[in-house]
Chains A and B, each alone.
Chain A
Amino acid sequence: DAKTTQPPSMDCAEGRAANLPCNHSTISGNEYVYWYRQIHSQGPQYIIHGLKNNETNEMASLIITEDRKSSTLILPHATLRDTAVYYCIVVKSGTSYGKLTFGQGTILTVHP
């Protein structure tokens, strides 16, 4: 599975959009980008995933560059409850035997 690089930490003001970048320059054509987050003392929470098209759900939007070497998770109106560690994971769907490889992630702090 391709390796990902994320900034260790980011800040965001409450009510503003939080844009979390992820670099995955070695991604191959059949690998998906998944995003999870982990709020302190809780289990990780699935947010969104995509292959090459931009995706949106009730939690967030995922923007993947045309060359697929990077992506951005967008929380459109961040709240204090969005403070968490955000993990970007690249994986070949259906062949990973459920193995998600978590890196260090990005600590997002949303402040009032």
Chain B
Amino acid sequence: ETGVTQSPTHLIKTRGQQVTLRCSSQSGHNTVSWYQQALGQGPQFIFQYYREEENGRGNFPPRFSGLQFPNYSSELNVNALELDDSALYLCASSLDGMETQYFGPGTRLLVL
């Protein structure tokens, strides 16, 4: 059984740029949720994708967008990067959107 993987592990961007983060879900899971974790804080829910459609969204602006592919892997896209977007971005996979979620190791994004 393959766990949740994320790429890249680290990324440095400058303000105004765009970034794409990738996530491969655990085998057998059809749902991916994305979270942002600022330093010293708990993860904050961005959105969830279930069967290739957005299925719930947290309090994040539209410049945060995503995709889910037929193999249930997912991308998080952030446009017009701001300094406050610097954080650890976590994805989690689950079956049918359930709350038992399995997290990847995260992508650490630094915006300069």
Contacts and interface: CB of A to CB of B under 8 A. Distances in A.
Nearest to B99: A91
Interface residues of B, number: 27
Contacts of A99: 33, 45, 48, 56, 58
Interface in A48-94: 49, 85, 87, 89, 91, 93-94
Given A44-B90, A46-B101, A97-B97, A102 B55 contact: no
Given A87-B42, A99-B58, A45 B103 contact: yes
A89 B100 CA distance: 11
Interface string B69-112: 00000000000000000000010101001111111111000000
Contacts of B90: 43-44
